[in-house]
Amino acid sequence: MVCYQNYFYLPSYNSSIFHTCSFILNSKAINMSFARYKKKIEEGDTIILYLGYENMHAVTMKRGQTFQTKYGAMRHADVIGMDYGSKVQCPKGYLYVLQPTPDLWTQNLPHRTQILYATDISIVTMQLDLKPGSVVVESGTGSGSLSHSIIRTIAPTGHLHTFEFHQQRAEKAREEFWEHGLKEYVTVAHRDVCQDGFDLENIADAVFLDLPRPWEAMSSAKTAMKVTGGRLCSFSPCIEQVQRSCEYLRDLGFEEVTTMECLLRNFDVRTVNLPIVDMGPTGHPSKEDTSQNTDLKQEVTEQTTSQVKKLKSGNRDSTSQRELKNVPPCFDLIGKKESESFFFKTGITPTNMPGHTGFLTFATLYPS
């Protein structure tokens, strides 16, 4: 039978190169709320308090502690033992307790660095062909935003080797993975891969680089990749970095070098009430009167008429006739038209949105 993927990966690195695990998590309970779905909240779990859209907090449960929300204090002890997804009544309002997903974690994690957000993370995961069993090399670890998503996708049979040149950050990340019950899927190393390389050979299905000078790590990244080939991704905010990275990748024998950018546009669903202008009774030939209308109303009129046209074309009945007779409003998919206004639901785009995060460069290494 064809074996679909490498289920049994045994780390074959030389452990001495890794920063030794110096800290001990003494009495801290290790929660599994990240590793698998579970029903009840236990002490030690990191949970997400949902107060409203983009108003969330990640809190680790510990008896005796309270957490202050805008709805008042919430005692951890009251929440422990509850089902995930429950509604919690606070003095001045209610909130929901959610189980963290890598997505929610990305929205709520403590920032130690600039992080990768959900949109880019999803592209990276897909474009690197990640799945359970994949072995991934990542640098730098940063705040562990992408790392959590990688682990989610490659567990339980894959492994993430993540490298961070900032010692405290590396330790903090390691501590977090431990606390989140992800220890067995990840190896955190404190190391400057640009200077010292990854010191890994033929183990990786995919490599992710988020470095100021990614090209300095590319040759070593190539060595880290499996002989059967793999995918590489480099995330860079600046086009000059991309330019140089692509050159290096091609020189190293990587193929299918592709650079892309992905943005997410959110829609706010609203009901809009657009006034319909009074253009006076019909039959008056004076065109000059209308052209004198130079205020804002003019603009609205144009919009409205185009909307009405849309409505008309979409409706079998003549809307204008109904309007004249002042018959009850008609409905259709686009909106609801009354004598003085046009109501419709629409997805409104934000006036401001992130216009750029970084360029994602992907490349394939084929078996030589």
Using CB under 8 A as the binding rule, the residues of this chain from 267 to 296 that contact other proteins are: 267, 269
Judged by CB under 8 A, the chain residues 299 through 318 that form the site for other proteins are: none
Q: Which of 137, 179, 231, 242 is nearest to 27 (CA)?
A: 179
Could you give the count of Cα atoms lying within 13 Å of 134 in the half-sphere of its Cβ? 25
Residue 164 labelled as part of a binding site: yes
Query: C-beta of 71: minimal distance to other proteins in Å?
Result: 14
Query: C-beta of 39: minimal distance to other proteins in Å?
Result: 8
CB 82 within 8 A of CB 56: no
Query: C-beta of 229: minimal distance to other proteins in Å?
Result: 5
131 makes contact with other proteins (CB under 8 A): yes
Residue 289 labelled as part of a binding site: no
Query: C-beta of 142: minimal distance to other proteins in Å?
Result: 18
- The H-or-E segment that residue 58 falls in is strand 55-60
CB 161 within 8 A of CB 152: no
Residue 149 labelled as part of a binding site: no
Between the CA of residue 366 and those of 7, 54, 160, 161, what are the distances in Å?
Answer: 21, 42, 21, 21
Query: Phi and psi of 208, rounded to 5°?
Result: -120, 130
Q: Which stretch binds other proteins (CB under 8 A): 125-133, 163-171, 277-285, 319-327?
A: 125-133
Judged by CB under 8 A, the chain residues 134 through 163 that form the site for other proteins are: 149, 152-153, 155-157
Site of tokens 């003549």: 318
Residue 146 labelled as part of a binding site: yes
Out of 31, 46, 69, 125, point to the residue binding other proteins (CB under 8 A).
Answer: 125
Judged by CB under 8 A, the chain residues 174 through 203 that form the site for other proteins are: 202
DSSP string, 324-345: HHTPPPEE-SSEEE-SSEEEEE
Judged by CB under 8 A, the chain residues 60 through 89 that form the site for other proteins are: 83-87
10 makes contact with other proteins (CB under 8 A): no
Judged by CB under 8 A, the chain residues 241 through 270 that form the site for other proteins are: 242-243, 246-247, 250-251, 253, 255, 257-267, 269
298 makes contact with other proteins (CB under 8 A): no
Show Cβ contacts of residue 188 under 8 Å, excluding neighbours closer than 6 positions. Answer: 19, 141, 162, 164, 170, 173, 174, 177
Whether residue 335 has a cis bond before it, omega within 30° of 0 = no
Triad 43, 48, 53: Cα angle to 5°: 165
Binding footprint of other proteins, residue count (CB under 8 A): 76
Judged by CB under 8 A, the chain residues 89 through 108 that form the site for other proteins are: 96-99, 101-103
Query: C-beta of 94: minimal distance to other proteins in Å?
Result: 9
DSSP string, 81-129: TSBTT-EEEETTEEEEEE---HHHHHHHSPPSS----HHHHHHHHHHTT
Residue closer to other proteins, measured from CB, 277 or 334: 334
Binding site, annotated residues for S-adenosyl-L-methionine: 143-146, 164, 192, 210
